[in-house]
Amino acid sequence: MATLKESIRQFAHEAGFELVGFTHTSPPPHLRVYLDWVAQGRHAGMAYLASSRARELRADPARILPQAQSILVVGMRYFNPASQPTPPTPLHGRVAAYAWGKDYHDIIIERLEKVAHQIEALNGQPLNYRAYTDTGPILERDFAMQAGLGWIGKNTCLISPRHGSYFLLGVLFIDLKIDPDPPFTTDQCGNCQRCIEACPTDCILPDRTIDSARCISYLTIENKGPIPPELRPALENQVFGCDICQQVCPWNIRFGKSDGDAALAPRHEQTFPHLPTDLLLDPQQFIEKYRETPLLRPKRRGFFRNLAVALGNARDPQTVPTLLTCLHHEEEPLVRAHVAWALGQVGTPLALKSLEEALPQERDPVVVDEIRSAIQFIQSG
* SS3 per residue for 280-347: CCCHHHHHHHHCCCHHHCCHHHHHHHHHHHHHHHHCCHHHHHHHHHHHHHCCCHHHHHHHHHHHHHHC
CA distance linking residue 322 with residue 81, whole number of Å: 29
The average pLDDT across 302-329 equals 98
Inter-residue contact 259 to 83 (CB < 8 Å): yes
pLDDT in the model for residue 16: 97
Domain extent at residue 68: 4-78+101-174
Give the chain's mean pLDDT.
Answer: 96
pLDDT of residue 268: 86
pLDDT at 381: 77
Mean pLDDT to the nearest integer, 86-99: 96
d(CA 88, CA 80): 18
> Tell me, what CATH number does 314's domain have?
1.25.10.10
Give residue 136's pLDDT band: very low, low, confident or very high (50, 70, 90): confident
Same-domain status, 146 and 16: yes
The answer to whether residues 168 and 22 belong to one domain is yes
Number of independent structural domains in the chain: 2
36 an active-site residue?
no
The model's pTM is 0.96
pLDDT at position 351 is 97
Banded model confidence at residue 1, pLDDT cuts 50, 70, 90: low
Burial of 113 per CB tally in 10 Å (0-12, 13-18, 19+): middle
Q: Give pLDDT tens digits for 19-76.
A: 999 999 999 999 999 999 999 999 999 999 999 988 999 999 989 999 999 999 999 9
Give a yes or no: residue 242 inside a domain.
no
Task: Among 148, 174, 200, give the residue marking a domain's end.
Answer: 174
Return the pLDDT at 283. Answer: 97
What does the pLDDT read at residue 111? Answer: 98
Whether residue 94 lies inside any domain: the answer is no
The torsion angle over the Cα atoms of residues 15, 16, 22 and 25, rounded to 10 degrees, is -80
Of the residues 36, 134, 187, 369, only one is catalytic, namely 134
Q: Given this model, what pLDDT does residue 85 score?
A: 82
Asked if 29 and 132 count as a contact pair (C-beta separation under 8 A), the reply is no
DSSP 8-state symbol, 222: I
Decide: residue 263, CB within 10 A, 0-12 exposed, 13-18 middle, 19+ buried.
middle
